[in-house]
Structure 1
Amino acid sequence: MFFKSFFDENLAQMSYMVGCQKTGEALVIDPARDITPYLETSRKEGFDITSISETHIHADFLSGARELAHQTGAKLYLSDEGEDDWKYAFAEEYSHQWLKGGDQFYVGNVRLDVLHTPGHTPESLSFLLTDEGGGSEVPMGIFTGDFVFVGDIGRPDLLEKAAGAAGTADQGARQMYKSIQAFKELPDYVQLWPGHGAGSACGKSLGAVPTSTVGYEKINNWALTTENEHQFSDELLEGQPEPPTYFGMMKKLNKEGPALLSVDQSIDQLTAEDVEQLTAKGTAVIDTRSKETFAEGHLKGTLNIPFNKGFANWAGWLINYDQDIVIISDEEQVRDIQKALQSIGLDRLVGYVLSEEVNHQENLETYTSITAEELEKKFKNEDDYIIVDVRNQSEWDEEHMEEAIHVMLGTLPDRLNEIPDNKTPIVHCQSGVRSAIATSVLQANGFKDTLNLKGGFGAWKDYSQ
């Protein structure tokens, strides 16, 4: 048997390829939208991708299942559990088989037993793998998707918070408890292959270790050691992070079928002089340079989302799906940035401006970062300044400045009216990364004198003690 995992660090998302070396057939589980790694691996290892499966309709990334089926002709194995509202609408276009708990299917001589594991979503499936071709009569591991992670379990509140399905959070928590009891009946030696690792918003405290075993999780995963159902539900629902606004769109697109990608999609090179006109007509212009470089000089109306691990997440929060997008970046990063945007369905990248061209412009906007000591001095005159805390709700609840107002970064574009236009905003997060993005949002929306707190709340706390 062949086994390979793929990790998208931008989304903390895991996908897998399983192959039968005797028959040359391969299965891809939960493919990302960029299917290049699967095609390259199958060519290198001599496999034909004949099967594609998904554990559930994803909310945090755009699936590559339709793209992979379109390019390879592989058969789709998709959930037929849950209500009719959450069925894959695009499956009829391709060879497919609907799956329910208790079913099984094969990839060559590798057997996949289907478990219905609702909780994160009603249609959620897990796949228990047995390598019959290798002579095994017992399962090797289980693909759990967003059901069980290393150290945590999937959140049941996304349908309610991101897709507007009222009442589903409590129902999902009850379903998750029952699913966990069944999971604990699996043998301890079964390996755990989850759909996400640390950094995903699909759970509260996902581990950074990519794999585990059922036995290890029985001992160390809080959800598998909590026996009281009410206590389990309360702990599961409490303190879940705000789901990014794009999660609702991901559920919709993954259900209906993501658009097929054009390999030759053109991206025009533009000039810095074009940017003012573009922003005026509603184009989102994302400056992907570092926050330090952006602070020293940037074009008016641009948003600063540095191209790093958090790029796709914050782009999904802050960019509308009906907007054209232009990026400011180095030329060698343009295609990688495009892939990151496409991974969450932001497909309207129409142009780019070279970073070096912006660096050489005159009359650029700047912003100032101040220290905690400078903040204290400035805020003695409360009539002139307003402190804006852009951290998550859980961070705010734990501790915050009494004088601050709370506007979580991802919600900032829709809550600008909460910031008085007769005061200078002083923005902070925990360390200074998110507040730099927030400062660019405020400047682009007319708060030109916005100040950024250097080192964030952590620096303020150290100073004030």
Structure 2
Amino acid sequence: MFFKQFYEPRLAQYSYMIACAASGEALIVDPLRDIEMYLAEAEAQRVRITHVTETHIHADFLSGARALAKAAGADLLLSDEGGEDWQYAFPHTGLKHGDSFRVGHVKVDVLHTPGHTPEHLAFLITDTLAGEDPAMILTGDFVFVGDVGRPDLLDLVAGVGGASQPMARRMFASLQMFRQLPDHVALWPGHGAGSACGRALGASPASTVGYEKRTNWALQEEDEEAFVLKLLVEQPMPPAYFRNMKLWNRSGEKPGGSPSRPPRLPIQRLETLRDQGAVLVDARDKSAFAEGHIPGSIHIPDNTLFPTWAGWLLDPDTPAILIAPEAAVPDLVTSLYRIGLDQVAGYFTDVHYWAQMGHELARLEQMSATDLAEALAAKRAVAVDVREPHDLRNGFIPGAIAIPAGKLLRASLQPDTDRTLVFYCGRGHRSAIIASHLQRQGFAQVMTLREGVRGWEAAGLSLESPDADIDFEQVDALEAYRRQTEAGWTIIDVRDDAAFRRGHPVGARLAPLDSFIDDAVIASLRALEPLLLICNTGNKSAMAAEWLLSEGLTRIANVEEGVIGWQLHHLPWEK
């Protein structure tokens, strides 16, 4: 049996070839939209692609399964599980739980593994020439190295309200089936570290069933209720383009193949296209962008997250112009093609040439860590942490507020304040992207912290964290409930409105952390003291506590277990 794993680092995505050398047949699993790599590998191995399949209807990239099957004359085998709403809308050979098919002497057993999606399949592979025991399992977005697939995309992407908890329970049931597999079976997942299809994926390209049973957090949790709560908490916000991927991959309307190279643009043509509405995408590094860029450009740096941020910021129907070195253009175009962004009108390589021809350059102002510390102390600035909530446990700048990047992008949100807004993240990459977007939207007072948290620490400045020495009280969920019911404390839920509407402690009041910048909100909270601050796990509420202390409130406590602890203790809950 021949086996090859293909890895696409910008999507942290794995696809696979399995071939039988004796028969010359090959199977491709989860192919990307640009299918030439699979055809070339088949030719190199002197095999024919006879079968094409995928584990589920993908949300993070455009599938090449239909195009590859057509190009190779192969049988297209796709899931018929999941119910009527999750059926592929084009001809294929249907697969259900318990089915099997052969690729020469390689046997493929089909397992229905819902949880990430309703139709999800995994493939158990046996090389029958080597023996009767299965050799490997291709798990797709079911079980990753160190994690499992997120169950909330139907809610957040496909618009199926109330699906997250039922899907999490289906994931729990699917894992019970996984536990029955032999420990020796090699595990080959659909994604690695960096994918938004899970929360904490490992960087290793493979594992074994036995190792995941011993180390994967999801397989250590035997209580279903606790599993559901832990699986749903602090999942990263999915990029906006995920919805299109789901729709297009189900309908098959976006053809596969290869992207075409766009033209190099003269300045006059670039100006014309920009004036007609084309979006300029500056893929240079953050320092070069900050020093000078063509006005109206969006900054999306050329790194492994380029397609993710492009999927957040670009409309598939709006032409884009790449600002990037000549050598980088082919990879950038391919990255956009893989997520359905086909309207690349051209590219431009030299921003300095733009300036030399008499055109102005815009700047993205950056603030040093020491200047930010002084501005925060004098209340001339507000530090806005654009990282995900789970990042806060590693430390945050004292007095900052947290607004995740996805929320800022989705709502084109900027806090309403007279203070200077300084956006920061871990190293300054995300904050530069967000600031460029807000700058393009017309927001004037936008700055970033040079080198982010890394620069703050390099300047010898300290971070706050929920586990560090703190100036506010920490209480567990049981003590919080006692204080609410016996001592008249008010619970303040600092999560966003959507999370609050999905459920919160009985009697809790909503005050999202990003609203704390409003003096009227602080005044209303001061009138409600004493306060119990709560979020998902205690990280965001710790940041809220720091903010309130800086505003002079003193009778506050942080619920360190968050709403997860509240629910695990079965305390009163309402929607």
TM-score by length of 2: 0.76
Hey, what's the Cα distance between the residues in 1 that align with 2:299 and 2:383?
Answer: 20
Residue 369 of structure 1: which of 361, 366, 369 is its match?
366
Cα separation, partners in 2 of 1:100 and 1:75, compared to 1, 3 Å: same
**1:124 equivalenced with 2:120 (yes/no):** yes
SS at match of 1:42: helix
**1:434 equivalenced with 2:434 (yes/no):** no
- Counterpart residue type for residue 3 of structure 1: F
Residue 414 of structure 2: which of 388, 403, 418 is its match?
418
- Aligned ranges for residues 189-228 of structure 1 at < 5 Å? 189-228=184-223
Residue 323 of structure 2: which of 328, 335, 349 is its match?
328
User: Deviation of residue 406 (structure 1)?
Assistant: 3.7
- Counterpart residue type for residue 376 of structure 1: A
Q: Which position in structure 2 is the counterpart of 1:13?
A: 13
Cα separation, partners in 2 of 1:138 and 1:73, compared to 1, 3 Å: same
User: Deviation of residue 420 (structure 1)?
Assistant: 3.6
1:312-343 residue CA offsets vs partner (Å, 9 max, x unmatched): 11111111222111111122222211110011
1:51-91 residue CA offsets vs partner (Å, 9 max, x unmatched): 1011111111111112212211211110000021111112x
SS at match of 2:461: helix
Hey, what's the Cα distance between the residues in 2 that align with 1:176 and 1:203?
Answer: 13
Partners of 1:152 and 1:222 within 8 A in 2 = yes
Partners of 1:421 and 1:447 within 8 A in 2 = no
Hey, what's the Cα distance between the residues in 1 that align with 2:219 and 2:268?
Answer: 58
Q: Which position in structure 1 is the counterpart of 2:105?
A: 109
Cα separation, partners in 2 of 1:262 and 1:46, compared to 1, 3 Å: closer
User: Deviation of residue 6 (structure 1)?
Assistant: 0.4
Partners of 1:407 and 1:415 within 8 A in 2 = no
Partners of 2:34 and 2:256 within 8 A in 1 = no
**1:267 equivalenced with 2:262 (yes/no):** yes
Partners of 2:280 and 2:320 within 8 A in 1 = yes
Residue 226 of structure 2: which of 194, 216, 231 is its match?
231
Hey, what's the Cα distance between the residues in 1 that align with 2:150 and 2:451?
Answer: 31
SS at match of 2:108: strand
SS at match of 1:163: coil
Cα separation, partners in 2 of 1:261 and 1:334, compared to 1, 3 Å: farther
Hey, what's the Cα distance between the residues in 2 that align with 1:174 and 1:284?
Answer: 42
SS at match of 1:268: coil
Q: Which position in structure 1 is the counterpart of 2:23?
A: 23
Hey, what's the Cα distance between the residues in 1 that align with 2:254 and 2:269?
Answer: 29
Q: Which has the bigger relative contact order, CA under 8 A and spacing at least 6?
A: 1
1:290-314 residue CA offsets vs partner (Å, 9 max, x unmatched): 1111112110000111111010111
Hey, what's the Cα distance between the residues in 2 that align with 1:221 and 1:136?
Answer: 28
Mean alpha-carbon deviation: is it higher for 230-239 or for 262-271? Answer: 262-271
Residue 392 of structure 1: which of 388, 393, 407 is its match?
388
User: Deviation of residue 400 (structure 1)?
Assistant: 4.5
Hey, what's the Cα distance between the residues in 2 that align with 1:454 and 1:158?
Answer: 34
User: Deviation of residue 47 (structure 1)?
Assistant: 0.8
Hey, what's the Cα distance between the residues in 1 that align with 2:356 and 2:325?
Answer: 14
Partners of 2:64 and 2:256 within 8 A in 1 = no
Hey, what's the Cα distance between the residues in 2 that align with 1:263 and 1:229?
Answer: 45
Cα separation, partners in 2 of 1:258 and 1:457, compared to 1, 3 Å: farther
Partners of 1:126 and 1:145 within 8 A in 2 = yes
**Structure 2: which 5+ runs fail to align?**
464-575
Q: Which position in structure 1 is the counterpart of 2:332?
A: 337
**Structure 1: which 5+ runs fail to align?**
none
SS at match of 1:269: coil
Partners of 2:284 and 2:302 within 8 A in 1 = yes
Hey, what's the Cα distance between the residues in 2 that align with 1:50 and 1:243?
Answer: 34
- Counterpart residue type for residue 454 of structure 1: R
Q: Which position in structure 2 is the counterpart of 1:240?
A: 235
- Counterpart residue type for residue 171 of structure 2: M
Partners of 2:259 and 2:333 within 8 A in 1 = no
User: Deviation of residue 11 (structure 1)?
Assistant: 0.6
Cα separation, partners in 2 of 1:324 and 1:421, compared to 1, 3 Å: farther
Structure with max Cα Rg: 2
Q: Which position in structure 1 is the counterpart of 2:2?
A: 2
Partners of 1:275 and 1:299 within 8 A in 2 = no
Q: Which position in structure 2 is the counterpart of 1:408?
A: 404
Cα separation, partners in 2 of 1:359 and 1:217, compared to 1, 3 Å: farther
User: Deviation of residue 153 (structure 1)?
Assistant: 1.0
Partners of 2:25 and 2:104 within 8 A in 1 = yes
User: Deviation of residue 12 (structure 1)?
Assistant: 0.6
User: Deviation of residue 154 (structure 1)?
Assistant: 0.9
User: Deviation of residue 273 (structure 1)?
Assistant: 4.3
User: Deviation of residue 380 (structure 1)?
Assistant: 5.1
SS at match of 2:37: helix
Residue 444 of structure 1: which of 440, 447, 454 is its match?
440
SS at match of 2:333: helix
Q: C-alpha root-mean-square deviation of aligned residues, in Å?
A: 2.2
Partners of 1:59 and 1:251 within 8 A in 2 = yes
User: Deviation of residue 203 (structure 1)?
Assistant: 1.2
Partners of 2:5 and 2:17 within 8 A in 1 = yes
Partners of 2:35 and 2:257 within 8 A in 1 = no
- Counterpart residue type for residue 246 of structure 2: K
Residue 98 of structure 1: which of 60, 77, 94 is its match?
94
Hey, what's the Cα distance between the residues in 1 that align with 2:37 and 2:155?
Answer: 33
How many residues are paired up?
459
- Aligned ranges for residues 175-190 of structure 1 at < 5 Å? 175-190=170-185
Q: Which position in structure 2 is the counterpart of 1:89?
A: 89
Q: Which position in structure 2 is the counterpart of 1:378?
A: 375
1:158-187 residue CA offsets vs partner (Å, 9 max, x unmatched): 111111111211111111111111111111
Mean alpha-carbon deviation: is it higher for 117-126 or for 231-240? Answer: 231-240
Mean alpha-carbon deviation: is it higher for 4-13 or for 447-456? Answer: 447-456
**1:158 equivalenced with 2:156 (yes/no):** no
Q: Which position in structure 2 is the counterpart of 1:172?
A: 167
Partners of 1:276 and 1:300 within 8 A in 2 = no
1:263-305 residue CA offsets vs partner (Å, 9 max, x unmatched): 5745232234444543443322101111111112110000111
User: Deviation of residue 224 (structure 1)?
Assistant: 1.4
